[in-house]
Amino acid sequence: MVSHRLAAGGLVNRGNALSFTFDGKTYRGLQGDTLASALLANGELLVGRSFKYHRPRGIVTAGSAEPNALVTVGTGARSEPNTRATVAELYDGLSAASQNRWPSLAFDIGAVNSLLSPFLSAGFYYKTFMWPASFWEKVYEPLIRRAAGLGRLVTEADPDRYEKAWAHCDLLVIGSGPAGLMAALAAGRAGARVILADEGFRLGGSLLSESSAVGGLPAAEFAGQMLAELATLPNVTLMPRTTVFGWYDDMVFGAVEKVQKHVALPTPDLPVERLWRIAAKRAILASGAEERPLVFGGNDRPGVMTAGAARTYLNRYGVAIGQRVAIFTNGGSGYALARDLAASGVEVTALIDARKESGDAVPDGVRLIRGGAVTSTRGTRALKGIIADRSGFEEDLACDALAMSGGWSPVVHLMCQRGAKPVWSDERQAFLAPDVGAAFVAAGSAAGLDRLSACLRDGADKATVLARDLGFAAYEAEIPDVAGDYDPDFAPLWYVPGSKGKAFVDFQNDVTVADLGLSQREAYSHVEMTKRYTTGGMATDQGKLGNVNTIGIVAGMRGVSPAEIGTTTFRPFYTPVSFGAMAGTARGEHSRPVRRSPLHGWAARNGAIFVEAGPWYRSSWFPREGEKTWREAVDREVRTVRASAGLCDVSTLGKIEIFGPGAAEFLNRVYSNAFLKLPVGKARYGLMLREDGIVYDDGTTSRLSENHYVLTTTTAYATEVMAHLEFAAQALWPHLDVRFASSSDQWAQMSLAGPKARIILQRVVEDDLSDAAFPFLSARTVLLKGGLAARLFRISFSGELAYELAVPAGYGEAVADAIMEAGYEEGICAYGVEALNVLRIEKGHVTHNELDGRTTADDVGLGRMMAMQKPDFIGKHLATRFGLTAADRLQMVGLKPVEADAEIKAGAHLLKENAKPSMVNDQGFVSSACYSPTLNSFIALAMLKSGRERYGEKIVVWDALRTSEVLAEVCPPVFVDPDNKNLHV
Amino acid sequence: MASLITCPHCGVRPKEEFSIRGDAVPVRPAPNAGAEAWYAYVYVRDNPKGRIQEYWHHAAGCRRWLVVERDNVTHEVFSVRDAADVARSGSGEAA
Amino acid sequence: MCEVTLPMTLSFAHRHVLEDHIVGFETRPNPHHLAVVRRPTILCVLAHAGFEGGVKAALHALEGVCVRICGPAEWLVVSHSVGPEALLRLVREIEGVSAFDHSDGRVLMRIAGPNVRSILAKCLAVDLHRDSFAPGASANILIAHVAGNLARIGEDAFEIIVPRSYAGTVFEEVKEMGREFALTAGFSED
């Protein structure tokens, strides 16, 4: 391979050679190179194969619109497919591999698709893979996926770190070219907080590729000088390697910063990428313009690229794109390249201008072909020559590179992401940015300007207006002179008539002019339909390069203006953003916040097996040595509670402190049962409804003093109930003098349950706990031995004599340890939520298994808690409507299998004996089920049609999912101590 | 990806700090208002396009319920008021 | 209008929730440092309707406390010198106030260092420029996905108060975000 690196020039560091590999072969590049410029410098023109036809493809651009040069960078878990070589910063040790070829890039078997191309035209997939339907999933899709080649995802876990961060500024400047730099400087000097973000690893944008002199300096040096000043301003933040990919509501911009994508081995103290949300008061889009390719036969041959890209490789990287370069242009851009190539001593074979006239200066010794066009190209894996046509005369010109310029399209994506459509300009022959209000404006070539001097001025002017708008003193920026400024004005040429061979519009998805024609003939003529029918613009580059040409060509076919065709919809992201960046640190253990009970350590010491319950980790059972299954542990825990005592962590219940003279009335309105007369020192079970009459949540509320209550919620609904109460207090009854706040985290709360509970607790508590002194439903502050104040509630979920003790969270573990020690002789055990569940099912107490958002108080046997004599409470007014009081509603019952060892599972449905399983025959379902070691039988709670009238009936418990059918007897839902004798001992 | 709400108590905050309850226009009827009024309050909602009023709860901030008036097409926010202020000033408050 | 809380006892060991998370002795700032205060007094204070202004003024007049804003008529009152019972007595003398001890329900951390705002920008969405969040400012805010309270206690120093149950998550997340600046962490001396 011939080296294409020129002897001098460019912004590369010739003293710092970097070694890299491409498809296993080692190459050298220079610091400051992209992977693309380094490959070109090494004469590697062939970098990929096209998606459908597997045609050999080379580098087309020098930026983020690149459709062809997609490679996999990195190895192992760090492999990143579909990386655009044109924006991949070269680093020592970079390893890249081409994609979509087998067995090798040069010899690709898939290229046989090219011979089949008559059958692979637009709509091919839709027409071919239609029938039978079942074939789609099993046959067609896997086939297509294997043949359609993008890079392969690695399945190993990503070893790198990602972060997300917020930034705030007065002015966000997107793009650091001439307009962006001047904008940042004008606003920065005025004192505004400015963020200047650019996707490039070196700031300066197109100034880095420019050969003109700006302010008496080479353009890149001028950019350097500006950046040096910006760096000294404390109110300006420079963000290189940062792509602003999206514009969202309320002037929030999404951006991704490549922090460590340019190093072989990232340090773990920094993320590899950082996702930014930038809240900007104002923003300037200075994203420049994209050069349009020309559409002619064989325009995808490796060696054909845009003139602007050729100029960037020449001026910024010191790389000639070929030894003999032909130029095909419809405007001034081709001339600028010709001048730069000639000045660098690179041979320009011919400058072919599609226009018959132009005032552009042709450098000495360059042959100009006016009114000409390229109709086809020669070469297979590299360009060997072109056929130039002028007035019907064809000429074969030998060359190894062809630079093309089809005019410029402002890069307006971000301004179109929130619904506004770009606006066609006949004068500019381009789609211009829509007016999206004064807060976000385009500047420079993104605003449709062409000359460098105009872009510099526009950036400064627009920033000055925005800064003034925000109250910053106006700053008059001096606009530097530009020597050698040129006019890249162009005349439209959407495609070259008389082209031979395939003329590509969308390189990445292999969409040709012929495909566009077919879509029009087959009536898929709306631009959104054309896009989907041809897949033009649907590749990873989202049509950045090809879409405007597509619109121009379709307009030409239909004989209308591109304005009538319009554009497809612009959506984030401007360029692909990795899932890693989107996830940030939210991976593995950091996926979501974790809540820990203050008794977590106590539970862990006692051997708890934890289960996730929302954000909580709750202790589910405490296995002891010799217990082989969870059931053995749970059965023992239940038996111990019924026979002696057990201690359970109930800290996760929501706790709300309620204060004020209006508290009683407030509680009376949010609960269905009466609360006005709850005495101080007493707890009461309360039922909350939704406004539609359905049960919402339950819990106990205790009156600690005249105007101070503590309300408890279930663990699952703690957050929701708090918000519900706040809504009631603020939006419904703001005149009630009630204030409340959560105290859930203040207390470690433990339930001590069992006939020995009092004896054990009395050893720890100073106050008299006798039934007379502290009867059932007592609730007050007590002193523990030694003086620690605690809240004690005599309430029971298990049906046994039970207390809930709450101590300040930091003392939780010590107090729980003390209770375990105090109960050692009685054989106290720690019990978890599984045993708690068995205990409450045995007692017929409901949880959200029964309060499932469909049940009324009466459905679950709590009809007595509907205090209908109260004038108002949430849920009262719709509770009496017909549907909620119908006789055949599902009512909570107990179920006992006829054979005690037959297992009933929650979720099973209920059928009358001998009835066929059907929706019509459905009698209800099992809401909770367990093995009861107290009854030595499986038992269940179920919702059954008119259930309370059916005690004694035999019913089939039918579970098709787990293929079981059990005959059970319907019984009252309270299996132990139905007379509540145990509660009052 | 992002949007911002200016809480009258806390200032500019990201949407992640809020939860939305829905239409803030219906006013809770008086206890004796009758079945039709209660039915309408609980179930009947328009689904307008454009300018709407919604309850937003500043759950991770001041924990106040807010009435946000915004355009559900453009997400332009016109006003954010404390729900208690709105309820006190409104005529429909049930005593 | 609240139950009486009597003095703490020594018979039960008090354990800080972050004791499982903090190992070693990284107490010297590097210079970025996350300091966990072991036993601050933190009260939740609510003002009843009509008393908001008076309660606010009276809280600010208390000696040895910092007042953190939670929302309208709601504050956290923090002290490193006055114990919870004594402070509760003082606060309850204010007319129109309801208050309760939340010292065990909250974990207080201080984070400081020249790039502290860059670390916090990864944990919360609010603009911490001094023009919008000046020293002395405080607010309830989502910190590391958890509803907490943030106060600016210096140009480059902030105080974070989060619910105890979430403290481990927040502590680990802030430490993770501080890796870039070699953030150290430990219990504070005071």
CB A68 within 8 A of CB A59: yes
Q: Provide the CATH number for the domain around residue B44.
A: 3.30.2270.10
CB A511 within 8 A of CB A539: no
Query: Domain residue spans in chain C?
Result: 17-39+104-190, 41-102
Which among A252, A572, A723 has CB closest to B3?
A: A252
Q: Which two tokens stand for residue A641?
A: 């509670």
Q: Residue A273 burial by CB count (10 A; 0-12/13-18/19+): exposed, middle or buried?
A: buried
Comparing CA positions, the residue from C88, C89, C6 lying closest to residue A787 is C6
Tell me how far CA of residue A430 lies from CA of A408, A590, A892, A906, in angstroms: 7, 47, 70, 65
The whole-number pLDDT of residue B94 equals 40
Find the Cα–Cα–Cα–Cα dihedral A345, A346, A349, A355, rounded to 10°: -90
The whole-number pLDDT of residue B65 equals 98
| Residue B94 resides in a domain | no
Task: Kindly tell me if the per-residue pLDDT of C123 is higher than 60.
Answer: yes
The whole-number pLDDT of residue C104 equals 98
Nearest CA in chain B to C141: B61
Distance CA A966, CA A134 (A): 38
Say what the pTM is. Answer: 0.94
Q: What is the mean pLDDT of residues B21-49?
A: 95
Q: Is B27 on the interface with A (CB under 8 A)?
A: no
**First-last CA distance in chain A:** 97
Q: Is C10 on the interface with A (CB under 8 A)?
A: yes
Residue position matching structure tokens 């059965």: A635
Distance CA A723, CA C147 (A): 14
What are the backbone dihedrals phi and psi of residue A363, each rounded to the nearest 5 degrees, phi first?
Answer: -65, 155
Cα A295 to the center of its chain, rounded Å: 37
CB A50 within 8 A of CB A105: no
Dump pLDDT digits (tens) for A948-967: 999 999 999 999 998 999 99
- How many residues are listed for chain B in this entry? 95
pLDDT < 70: residue spans in chain A: 1-2, 102-103, 109, 112, 115-120, 123-149
Which among C7, C74, C106 has CB closest to A745?
A: C106
Q: Which two tokens stand for residue A676?
A: 């006005």
CB B35 within 8 A of CB C163: no
CB A759 within 8 A of CB A826: yes
Domain C17-39+104-190: assigned CATH number: 3.30.1360.120
Distance CA C116, CA A979 (A): 63
Tell me how far CA of residue A494 lies from CA of A329, A376, A389, A504, A562, in angstroms: 12, 16, 16, 12, 11
The whole-number pLDDT of residue C190 equals 67
Q: Which ranges of A259-306 would DSSP assign to H, the alpha helix?
A: none
* Interchain proximity A746–C100, CB inside 8 Å: yes
* Interchain proximity C169–A786, CB inside 8 Å: no
CB C122 within 8 A of CB A164: yes
Q: Which two tokens stand for residue A881?
A: 């409507």
Which of helix, strand or coil describes residue A734? coil
What is C41-102's CATH number, 3.90.930.60, 3.30.70.920, 3.90.340.10, 3.30.70.520?
Answer: 3.30.70.920
Q: Is B46 on the interface with A (CB under 8 A)?
A: no
Which amino acid would we find at residue B9?
H
Which among B13, B58, B63 has CB closest to C126?
A: B13
Which among C2, C5, C15 has CB closest to A813?
A: C15
| Residue B68 resides in a domain | yes
Task: Kindly tell me if the per-residue pLDDT of C2 is higher than 60.
Answer: no
Q: What is the mean pLDDT of residues C31-36?
A: 95
Looking at every residue in chain B, the average pLDDT score rounds to 92
Q: What 8-state DSSP symbol labels residue A76?
A: G
Distance CA A689, CA A319 (A): 75
Distance CA A49, CA A508 (A): 9
Measure in Å the smallest separation between the Cα of B47 and chain A Cα atoms: 20
What are the backbone dihedrals phi and psi of residue A810, each rounded to the nearest 5 degrees, phi first?
Answer: -65, -20
Nearest CA in chain B to C74: B62
* Interchain proximity B28–A732, CB inside 8 Å: yes
C-alpha gyration radius of chain C: 17
Beta bridge mates, C163: C106
Beta bridge mates, C69: C75
Judge if the upstream peptide bond of residue A573 is cis by omega within 30 degrees of 0: yes
Comparing CA positions, the residue from A673, A654, A661 lying closest to residue A723 is A654
Residue position matching structure tokens 């400024």: A485
Distance CA A726, CA A679 (A): 24
Comparing CA positions, the residue from A81, A101, A91 lying closest to residue A21 is A91
Distance CA A627, CA A622 (A): 10
SS (H, E, C) C43-81: EEEEECCCCHHHHHHHHHHCCCCEEEEEECCEEEEEECC
Nearest CA in chain A to C143: A593
Number of domains in chain B: 1
The whole-number pLDDT of residue B17 equals 97
The two beta strands, A789-793 and A779-783, are: antiparallel
CB A58 within 8 A of CB A283: no
Which amino acid would we find at residue C167?
A
* Interchain proximity B61–C132, CB inside 8 Å: no
Contacts of A575 (CB under 8 A, 6+ apart): A64, A199, A243, A245
Which amino acid would we find at residue A512?
T
Q: Which helix (H) or strand (E) holds A803?
A: strand A802-808
Measure in Å the smallest separation between the Cα of C71 and chain A Cα atoms: 11
Which of helix, strand or coil describes residue A118? helix
Domains of chain A from N-terminus onward: 162-289+411-483 (3.50.50.60), 628-652+746-826 (3.30.1360.120), 661-737+846-880 (3.30.70.1400), 887-985 (2.40.30.110)
Judge if the upstream peptide bond of residue B14 is cis by omega within 30 degrees of 0: no
Residue position matching structure tokens 């839709």: A126
| Cβ atoms within 10 Å of A913's Cβ, excluding its own | 9
Q: Is C29 on the interface with A (CB under 8 A)?
A: no
Domain membership of residue B45 as a residue range: 4-89
Comparing CA positions, the residue from A173, A203, A202 lying closest to residue A186 is A173
What residues of A are in contact with residue B31 (Cβ under 8 Å)? 871-872, 876-877
The helix, strand and coil proportions of chain B, stated in percent and rounded to the nearest 5, come to 20, 35, 45
Distance CA A837, CA A852 (A): 16
Q: Is B1 on the interface with A (CB under 8 A)?
A: yes
Comparing CA positions, the residue from A563, A537, A539, A538 lying closest to residue A550 is A537
Looking at every residue in chain C, the average pLDDT score rounds to 92
Q: Is C145 on the interface with A (CB under 8 A)?
A: yes
Comparing CA positions, the residue from C88, C1, C2, C81 lying closest to residue C40 is C81
* Interchain proximity B63–A726, CB inside 8 Å: yes
The whole-number pLDDT of residue C29 equals 74
What are the backbone dihedrals phi and psi of residue A839, each rounded to the nearest 5 degrees, phi first?
Answer: -60, -40
Distance CA A675, CA A655 (A): 17
Dump pLDDT digits (tens) for C65-99: 999 999 999 999 999 999 999 999 999 999 999 99
Comparing CA positions, the residue from A97, A47, A105 lying closest to residue A76 is A97
Measure in Å the smallest separation between the Cα of C42 and chain A Cα atoms: 11
Give residue C23's pLDDT band: very low, low, confident or very high (50, 70, 90): confident
The whole-number pLDDT of residue A138 equals 62
Chains in contact with C, counting 3 or more C-beta pairs less than 8 Å apart as contact: A, B
Beginning with the edge strand found earlier in the chain, give each strand of the sheet holding A401-405 in spatial order: A304-306, A401-405, A324-329, A347-353, A368-370
What are the backbone dihedrals phi and psi of residue A187, each rounded to the nearest 5 degrees, phi first?
Answer: -75, -35
Distance CA A426, CA C178 (A): 53
Q: Which ranges of chain C would DSSP assign to H, the alpha helix?
A: 52-61, 84-92, 116-120, 167-177
The whole-number pLDDT of residue A116 equals 66
| Cβ atoms within 10 Å of C117's Cβ, excluding its own | 17
Which among B35, B38, B65 has CB closest to A731?
A: B65
Q: Residue B34 burial by CB count (10 A; 0-12/13-18/19+): exposed, middle or buried?
A: exposed
CB C109 within 8 A of CB C63: no
Distance CA A576, CA A275 (A): 12
Tell me how far CA of residue A259 lies from CA of A84, A270, A403, A685, in angstroms: 17, 8, 33, 57
Q: Which two tokens stand for residue A395?
A: 């000429």
| Residue B42 resides in a domain | yes
